């Protein structure tokens, strides 16, 4: 009898302390619905769940699912800015070696899609210019993550492409790069990438670099950090969030943007605007197609 009571007590304690997690999971539906503006959705490396990362196919796949398509950029041996996350090309192409040791022409001959799926075998490593042009044609704005290259390299391309500062954004872990880019054009939309403790000193340093928003590792962010960044006159984005529960939490916190591999999942979390009953027509008339 004593053993049975002990088992029941243990089961009850487990139930109350998290055995049934739904008891402790906050419902963020109302918080999301009450947001005055929806969170910015940033498709990570393009829609990298649907197409090979950092390719034109991945950018096209974003469509209207996200306001931004993020792309990683590196420099070839002959000075071309191309899309690639890693320092080498081994993981995502049928080639090998460092990006910096390849010429642009040698990279263009590589298959950048089959490693994802055979049906993407025609995908090639795109230039930054091609990627931005594709993004502009298909909807989302380009969010350029600088992996390598100088501020002058990027500024030169932006000018040559006749881009307006509102057409794109630039993010970087190297805040000196951001400062240099800001000095070339203070109207550029710049984001300071980082992780770890985001205290006031770090926020102030990001602001001095010319950044107008901060993009931070999501596991380092809580409500007080969100409030602190906003009080400093900056926006806060978080990366990289893929599960709906965590997405909801950050939307409710009031972050300005979320980088995700799952833009479709994130876009579906926003409820459609409701129509007040007194505004709804009593006898709806079909509209012509």
Rounded to two decimals, what is the model's pTM?
A: 0.84
Task: Check: CB of residue 239 under 8 Å from CB of residue 215.
Answer: yes
Tally Cβ neighbours within 10 Å of residue 9: 10
CATH number, domain at 158?
3.20.20.190
Catalytic residues: 44, 85
Give the list of residues 6+ apart from residue 98 with CB closer than 8 angstroms, or none: 87, 88, 89
Q: Has residue 194 got a pLDDT over 70?
A: yes
Supply the angle between the helices 175-184 and 200-208 in degrees, to the nearest 10.
40
Report CA-CA distances (Å) from 133 to 125, 160, 235: 15, 12, 26
Residue 195 lies in a domain: yes
Task: Report if residue 263 sits inside a domain.
Answer: yes
Checking if the pLDDT of 4 tops 70, the result is no
Query: 99-120, pLDDT tens digit by residue?
Result: 999 999 999 999 999 999 999 9
Average pLDDT, the chain: 87
Of 280 and 114, the one with more pLDDT: 114
pLDDT reading at 281 higher than 70: no
Predicted confidence (pLDDT) at residue 282 exceeds the cutoff of 70: no
CA dist 104 and 134 (Å) reads 19
282 found inside a domain: no
Confidence class of residue 284 from pLDDT cuts 50, 70 and 90? very low
Alpha helices in 36-144 (DSSP H): 56-62, 104-108, 128-138
- Name the domain count of the chain: 1
Q: Is residue 2 part of a domain?
A: no
Say what the pLDDT of residue 33 is.
67
**Tens digit of pLDDT for each residue in 132-160?**
999 999 999 999 999 999 999 999 999 99
The reply to whether 101 falls in a domain is yes
Residue 285 has pLDDT above 50, yes or no: no
- Taking only the tens place, the pLDDT of each residue in 10-45 is 333 333 334 333 334 577 765 676 777 889 999 999
* C-alpha 67 chain-centroid distance: 10
The reply to whether 157 falls in a domain is yes
Q: Please report, for residues 7, 62, 242, the alpha-carbon distance to residue 67 in angstroms, rounded to integers and kept in the order given.
A: 53, 9, 17
> How confident is the model at residue 176, as a pLDDT?
98
Instruction: Please name the residue that has the structure tokens 């492409």.
Output: 161
Q: What is the pLDDT of residue 25?
A: 54
C-alpha dihedral (110, 112, 117, 122), degrees to nearest 10: -60
pLDDT score at 5: 36
248 found inside a domain: yes
User: By C-alpha distance, which of 251, 283, 284, 254 is closest to 268?
Assistant: 251
Strand partners, 192: 172, 214
Domain extent at residue 59: 25-269
**Residue 146's closest CA among 82, 101, 68, 61?**
82
On the CB side of 181, CA atoms within 13 Å amount to 33
Residue 288 domain flag: no
CA end-to-end distance (rounded Å), the chain: 73
């Amino acid at each position: 009898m004593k053993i049975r009571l002990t088992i029941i007590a243990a089961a009850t304690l487990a139930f109350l302390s998290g055995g049934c997690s739904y008891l402790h999971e906050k419902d963020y539906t109302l918080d999301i619905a009450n947001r005055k503006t929806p969170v910015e959705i940033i498709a990570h490396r393009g829609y990298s769940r649907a197409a090979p990362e950092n390719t034109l196919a991945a950018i096209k796949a974003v469509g209207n699912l996200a306001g931004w398509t993020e792309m990683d950029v590196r420099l070839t041996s002959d000075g071309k800015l191309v899309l690639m996350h890693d320092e080498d090309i081994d993981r995502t192409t049928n080639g090998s070696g460092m990006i910096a040791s390849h010429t642009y022409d040698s990279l263009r001959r590589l298959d950048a899609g089959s490693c994802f799926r055979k049906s993407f075998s025609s995908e090639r490593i795109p230039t930054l210019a091609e990627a931005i042009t594709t993004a502009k044609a298909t909807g989302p704005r380009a969010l350029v993550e600088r992996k390598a290259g100088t501020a002058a390299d990027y500024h030169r391309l932006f000018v040559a492409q006749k881009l307006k500062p509102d057409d794109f954004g630039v993010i970087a872990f190297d805040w000196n790069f951001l400062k240099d880019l800001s000095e070339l054009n203070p109207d550029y939309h710049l984001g300071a990438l980082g992780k770890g403790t985001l205290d006031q000193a770090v926020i102030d340093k990001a602001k001095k670099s010319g950044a107008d928003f901060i993009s931070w590792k999501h596991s380092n962010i809580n409500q007080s950090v969100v409030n602190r960044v906003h009080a400093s006159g900056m926006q806060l984005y978080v990366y990289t969030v893929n599960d709906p529960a965590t997405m909801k939490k950050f939307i409710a916190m009031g972050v300005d943007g979320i980088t995700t591999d799952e833009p479709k999942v994130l876009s579906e979390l926003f409820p459609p605007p409701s129509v007040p009953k007194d505004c709804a027509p009593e006898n709806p008339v079909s509209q012509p197609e």
